[in-house]
Amino acid sequence: MKKLLALLLSIVMVASFTACTNSQDNSDLKDTQDTQATTLSNEDVNAETLDTDVLEWVDFAQYNLDETAQVKNIILMIGDGMGENIIKASEIVKGDRLVMSGLPYQTHVTTYSQSVTDGLAEFTDSAASATALSTGVKTYNKYIGVDKDGNKLETICEFAKGLGMKTGLVDRHYVCHATPAGMAAHTDNRDNYPEIIKEMLASEIDVMFGGGAQHYKDIKSVQRTASKHSYKFIDNEEDLLSATSSDGRLLGLFAYANMDRASMNPSLTTMTSKALDLLDNDKGFFLMVEGSNIDVFESAQDMTSTLEQMQSFDKTVDLVLKWAEKHPGTLVLVTADHETGGVVIPENATAKDINDSCFTSGGEHTNTNVLLMAGGAQSAEICKPDLIDNTDIAKYMRSVLSKE
């Protein structure tokens, strides 16, 4: 029944694509199958073979990642709004540790932005925090890839491409939403989605997967824009699975708006698996993977849906760590752009105590420190201090990639 519903949902989304107009939704939402799926032959590719609509906690596992190799690949995984307490809450409900908690190194990260109101620091938004994670520079809320004076900053994707590396962005919100945009674009208005995605396409990022087709006039406009920048455009799971490196740059927009349900296909795990397959090369790559809708459902103070998003994200972390174990030279960083919801866990909480009442901030962001969990190539050094800033992550990625 769940597969039938998923199939019907896919049909509805395709119909929505063809019927969409020039209207734009600029509302700010406040912020695998394993790798064998990528080897299916074209005739075997079928969404029904994946069971990506099944949400479940992935079993806890720890992986033997090579820490001594020089960094060739960086996979930055961002749980949007994923504070330390939502990780703990997830583990209480699961009854076991999350896979991300098994990474060998951890530290805490400050996330504040440059925005101040009445002498008090505002809670950071995803644009400012993504910019800090990408460029190593603090900026104002709503600013992407520019400093507080509006000057363009070098993003992590631009830095990596300057080294001859491939680059990729995978998320569940709009491809041009704040966090992926912060890895590649430059603007003082995070809501200017049509211009942001044009700039992202012009930057020649090799792989971009997510939602947000509403920011084009219609499906033909999407295809024309992608083609202009030598992208192959895809909008369904079957075409995703059959894609190969010979297709060149790839733009996948799999929903009209936000892929806000963890069960929507292709799953975050499937998109990430294919991105790894397409980006793997001798010169290395930078890949950002975002669990976008953890934040969305924390903002809605919806614990059940938040936990589903945590299931999806941790399952994708598991996939990434399996891949990294087989590919020495890969640095895996798992963190959050900020905390959302002011999640508080009752003392001696059991699974039944993890509910909507755990949210204490009215769904707002907070400046509570978040975790950085690291593993793989050269992963120990960044976590040696007990507390770092989010800008330190950007600086560290550059430092390890610059070493010969």
Least confident of 53-57, 177-181, 394-398: 53-57
In Å, what is the CA distance from 216 to each residue of 21, 168, 219, 253?
8, 21, 7, 11
pLDDT range class, residue 214, cuts 50, 70, 90: confident
Mean pLDDT, range 156-185, rounded to an integer: 97
**Encoding tokens for residue 155?**
């993003």
Mean pLDDT, range 82-91, rounded to an integer: 98
Which is more confidently placed, 122 or 379? 379
Domain ranges of the chain: 58-186+266-402
Determine which one of 126, 129, 299, 305 is catalytic: 126
pLDDT range class, residue 44, cuts 50, 70, 90: very low
pLDDT range class, residue 332, cuts 50, 70, 90: very high
DSSP string, 272-300: HHHHHHHH--TT-EEEEEEETHHHHHHHT
Q: Which amino acid type is present at position 85?
A: N
For residues 302 and 79, give the distance between their C-alpha atoms in angstroms, rounded to a whole number.
16
For residues 231 and 217, give the distance between their C-alpha atoms in angstroms, rounded to a whole number.
18
Region of 69 (left: φ > 0; alpha: ψ -120 to 50; beta: rest) is beta
Q: Cα 391 to chain center, whole Å?
A: 18
The answer to whether the predicted template modeling score (pTM) of the entire model surpasses 0.75 is yes
Active-site residue, 16 included: no
Least confident of 143-157, 203-217, 323-337, 362-376: 203-217
pLDDT in tens, 241-270: 999 999 999 999 998 889 988 888 999 999
Beta bridge partners of 375: 332
In Å, what is the CA distance from 237 to each residue of 34, 152, 177, 240, 243?
15, 35, 21, 5, 10
Helix (H) or strand (E) holding 222: helix 219-228
The answer, yes or no, to whether residue 6 has pLDDT greater than 80, is: no
pLDDT at residue 54 in the model: 58
The CATH architecture one would assign to domain 58-186+266-402 is: 3-Layer(aba) Sandwich (3.40)
In Å, what is the CA distance from 146 to each residue of 130, 143, 198, 205?
11, 6, 17, 19
The answer, yes or no, to whether residue 37 has pLDDT greater than 90, is: no
